[in-house]
Structure 1
Amino acid sequence: MDKQRWQTLMHNLAGQPSLDTYQQLVCAYSEPHRYYHTATHIDACLVHLDRVKALAQAPAILEMALWFHDAVYQTQSNHNEQDSADWAVHFLQNAGAAVNVSHQVHHLIMATATHTTHDHPDTAWMVDIDLAILGQNTQTFADFETQIRKEYAWVPIAEYCQRRSQIFETFVQRPHLYQTAYFQERYEAMARSNLQTAIRRLQAGALVC
């Protein structure tokens, strides 16, 4: 989470650096109960954004949504996305950003709650970037799964395996895991392979427990 990058983004959207909020975000993504939803995840999202920035309608707004989309993350909460989106809106309004900017950021963050597209033109990019981890190499995906399990260590293993398997099955049943041609061409096949492997492992784990 590069400070200079944050300052450049804030200059583009509101004309001020807002370093206090930058530090708050760094602290949020450094919380000890996080293993995957950390600054590393945000940095990875920004790398993916940089590769498609020229294709986005409002790249600065999309980037701001990525910075905030997991800012609030409690594994026993059902409204992390809502809380993260609300924080982003409150911050942007106080920072003097245009009203439409805060509304669009809120909309983009909320899209990550269901990982489905809506009416905003950059929603597909937001969702695909957040799900890019599914299409990475086998080891990276395995590390991701280990990190998520650590975040949900409080859930009994049999219950965890069952729920995680169900989530992955909803993804593989979709006609496309990714919404954009860019992500489909690069990550769709690997993502489906990773998910199928994970489903088999999770189902076997649930049966054993």
Structure 2
Amino acid sequence: MEANSGILDKAANQVRQHFEKNVPATLYFHDLHHTLQVVDASSQMAAAMHLPEEDRLALLLAAWFHDAGYSTQYEGHEEYSVEIACKFCREQGLAEALIAKMSSCILATSMPQSPANPIEQIICDADMAHLGSAHYPEESKLLRKEINTVFNKDISKKAWRRTNIRFLQEHRYFTEYARTHFEPVKQAHLKALLDKEAAAKGETVETPVGTIEDVPALEPTSTEKEKKPVDKASQSRTDRGIATMFRIMSENHVSLSQMADSKANIMISVNTIVLSILVSVLLGKLQYYPQFILPTAILALVCLTAVIFAIRATRPTITGGVFTEEDIRQKKANLLFFGNFFKMELKEYEWGMKEMMNDSEYLYDSMIKDIYYLGKVLARKYYYLRISYNVFMYGLVVAVLSFAIASFIGMK
């Protein structure tokens, strides 16, 4: 718990410095104050829902970093937020599983929100907690000012009011906590906006505060008529989210593979040193100490077996390195893996890649296969690595005991 608290303190300091140095001052709404609100709301909901400590850490890290990407890009900033957050977490030596969980939380806040688990639901509701706060009118004005400045627009108060009405009507909180604490206040804000809209039209609108379904729909505005560009923007954000997911998964697989190779190298180095000592020191003296022949043989066998399995964990698999035109047309060849094309000519490879890039289904299928086979390779590595470590651990115990017994017998 104390270690997690220290990491969160470091995250808070880094995010504060990041906003001060890198985030534009024209972000009147998505500023450090908003991040602090999201962190506070996330912390309250995590406590109320009794989250496990690991989930709480992932959630609060995501809350701190979820808007850090505004320093690079406004729309689609979430993937840049993920990059900044992942860099910080790896510098702190956090587990890749926790980093992946945190990254998913940040990506879940992109609009339209699509949380897949409780902690993603919490951060999505925390990000929209201002809708159900007493300060919503002021926050809404800041957001309008920000959008007008960043995109060089001049959204009128009337158009902004209608936009807010539609958003509040369509928005849903995901957690029971938010529905209990934020929803009633949000509905009060919605009623106030509807009353203003009705007054502007010279009409009287009666709206129960507790419901959204009974609210009369407003007449379509020019923003609603521009539905296609909005849909394209949403699709673009979805595509970026998918690309980020694949990139994170690939990075995680590569990191795990490097860890496996490092562990295998340690095992190979240790056991070869022991074997060298056995050959150079003990073998020449066994004729004088015959009682150590069996223990020496056991230790040599243990070291040799451990080295063999460690080498098998790192030994690469040789593939054909070629693909045919028919493989591409039938979408069988995965050109994202070098082993499938390293013997091909550049022209053929360029043609195959262009065919794949022109077919989004084929491209995604190739990416999925690449992740899958990376996982299969990792499973093989860790399987042999586990055997190597088990042989070394238990075999070393047996060898030491056998040396102790032989020494005891020799003393008699």
Instruction: Give the TM-score range, shorter chain.
Output: 0.7 to 0.9
* Count of residue pairs brought into register by the alignment: 193
**2:189 aligned to which of 177, 180, 194:** 194
Q: What is the TM-score when the length of structure 2 is the normalising length?
A: 0.41
Q: Structure 1: which 5+ runs fail to align?
A: none
**Alpha carbons 2:43, 2:60 under 8 Å: kept:** no
| Distance of 1:198 and 1:61 partners within structure 2 | 36
Q: Which residue of 2 aligns with 1:21?
A: 14
**1:155 aligned to which of 136, 139, 153:** 153
Deviation at 1:20, TM superposition (A): 7.6
| Distance of 1:200 and 1:76 partners within structure 2 | 36
Structure 1 22/113 Cα, relative in aligned 2: closer, same or farther at 3 Å?
Answer: closer
The range that moved more, 96-105 or 162-171, is: 162-171
| Distance of 2:174 and 2:188 partners within structure 1 | 18
Q: Summarize the alignment of residues 109-148 of structure 1 with structure 2, pairs less than 5 Å apart.
A: 109-114=106-111, 116-137=113-134, 140-148=135-143
Deviation at 1:31, TM superposition (A): 3.3
Deviation at 1:133, TM superposition (A): 0.2
Q: Which residue of 1 aligns with 2:42?
A: 49
Deviation at 1:65, TM superposition (A): 0.2
CA deviation map 1:88-124 (0-9, x unaligned): 1232223321111211111101111125343233111
Deviation at 1:23, TM superposition (A): 5.2
Amino acid at match of 1:48: A
1:87 maps to 2:84: yes
Deviation at 1:199, TM superposition (A): 6.5
Deviation at 1:73, TM superposition (A): 2.0
Structure 1 62/168 Cα, relative in aligned 2: closer, same or farther at 3 Å?
Answer: farther
Structure 1 6/197 Cα, relative in aligned 2: closer, same or farther at 3 Å?
Answer: farther
CA deviation map 1:16-73 (0-9, x unaligned): x478834543425863112121221122222223322232341111000000011122
**Alpha carbons 1:29, 1:39 under 8 Å: kept:** no
Find the structure with the greater CA-based Rg. Answer: 2
Amino acid at match of 1:156: D
**1:71 aligned to which of 68, 71, 78:** 68
Amino acid at match of 1:80: H
Where relative contact order (Cα < 8 A, 6+ residues apart) is larger, the structure is: 1
Identity of aligned residues (%): 21
**1:180 aligned to which of 133, 153, 175:** 175
| Distance of 2:73 and 2:158 partners within structure 1 | 17
**Alpha carbons 1:7, 1:18 under 8 Å: kept:** no
1:34 counterpart SS class: coil
Q: Structure 2: which 5+ runs fail to align?
A: 201-220, 223-412
Q: Which residue of 2 aligns with 1:169?
A: 166
